[in-house]
Chains A and B, each alone.
Chain A
């Protein structure tokens, strides 16, 4: 199914990039295959609409192609793609609602604390629960409810698995800001989701019913 399957099986990422820049443009299909999901996920968690997320992802891959010569290899290619996706998504969000949106660069309020939802016990929700659309929707909505400055950090660190340093570099914020925002984002997710998931998690097993 893939367009360029096994085209150049021996090439690593840096070699593929060099070959593309030297004129073998079709190799780009192969280069980006491992990142199709992560770029889309990054886009979707920022724009919150599937059609638009697909648009953002396509634009990001096109921009990355056009600007490939500017990729210096100082960061990982995956991180570079994520930062292009972030900028593309931000550009659209800005264009859509310059009035309603909170500033993306608003600093964290250092003084205030976020508190988690208090529970006496926690019954582990197994990953099979994700077979249920209801559970997937709860998670997507909770991420969507986070303010952009928290959502971006959470998605990069906990979903895209970027390091603290990579996240700080991509967002052009300090490492301590990444940690503060991530902490708050995680607690806010727990606060929203723990009570809902607890309710959605039945005493008896009926995950596949």
Chain B
């Protein structure tokens, strides 16, 4: 069985996740070996996802951590409550 390009595209995501059944995976693999367009599409998709997942894409703003912990500290000590208690439980 020969796969057409547009059918190969349907498998890109699952191919990347290695979640295709072995026989389908093999068909896709064979197609990629001789189709430069599909292999460029596959490579670019994988490359783009690797870049997207990089911690540098979304960086924490300066001071984020300090502001977060300061607010948490106000909540924890200001309410003087355990998590399961409501604020009115305090004296």
Q: Give the shortest distance, in Å, between B69 (CB) and chain A (any CB).
A: 5
Cross-chain contact A61 with B72 (CB below 8 angstroms): yes
Q: Give the shortest distance, in Å, between B38 (CB) and chain A (any CB).
A: 9
Q: Report the bound CA distance from A206 to B83 in whole Å.
A: 52
Q: Report the bound CA distance from A113 to B44 in whole Å.
A: 19
Decide yes or no: A190 and B60 within 8 Å by CB, A25-B83, A61-B68 being known contacts: no
Q: Mark A33-44, 1 if CB is under 8 A from B, else 0.
A: 000110011001
Across the interface, which residues of A come within 8 angstroms of B84, CB to CB?
21, 68-69
Across the interface, which residues of A come within 8 angstroms of B81, CB to CB?
25
Cross-chain contact A28 with B44 (CB below 8 angstroms): no
Q: Is the interface of B mostly helix, strand, loop or mixed?
A: helix
Q: Out of B45, B49, B67, which one reaches A54, CB within 8 Å?
A: B67
Decide yes or no: A189 and B49 within 8 Å by CB, A120-B36, A194-B44 being known contacts: yes
Decide yes or no: A179 and B40 within 8 Å by CB, A37-B55, A127-B54 being known contacts: no
Cross-chain contact A158 with B65 (CB below 8 angstroms): no
Count the A residues whose beta carbon is within 8 Å of the partner chain — how many?
62
Count class of interface residues, chain B: 35 or more
- Determine whether A174 belongs to the interface, using a CB cutoff of 8 Å to chain B: no
Q: Out of A21, A121, A179, which one reaches B83, CB within 8 Å?
A: A21
Q: Mark B60-76, 1 if CB is under 8 A from A, else 0.
A: 11001101110111011
Cross-chain contact A119 with B58 (CB below 8 angstroms): no
Q: Give the shortest distance, in Å, between B19 (CB) and chain A (any CB).
A: 8
Across the interface, which residues of A come within 8 angstroms of B88, CB to CB?
none
Cross-chain contact B83 with A44 (CB below 8 angstroms): no
Q: Mark A142-154, 1 if CB is under 8 A from B, else 0.
A: 0100000000001
Cross-chain contact B73 with A190 (CB below 8 angstroms): no
Contacts A41-B58, A130-B51, A189-B52 supplied; 10 other A-B pairs, CB < 8 Å? A3-B73, A32-B72, A44-B58, A58-B71, A113-B10, A119-B44, A122-B41, A140-B58, A143-B52, A197-B44
Task: Show the binding face of B for A, using Cβ within 8 Å.
Answer: 6, 9-10, 12-14, 16-17, 36-37, 40-41, 43-45, 47-58, 60-61, 64-65, 67-69, 71-73, 75-76, 81-84
Task: Show the binding face of A for B, using Cβ within 8 Å.
Answer: 3, 20-23, 25-26, 28-29, 32, 36-37, 40-41, 44-45, 50, 54, 57-58, 61-62, 65-69, 113, 115-122, 124-125, 127, 129-131, 135-136, 139-140, 143, 154, 158-159, 161, 164, 179, 182-183, 186-187, 189-190, 193-194, 197
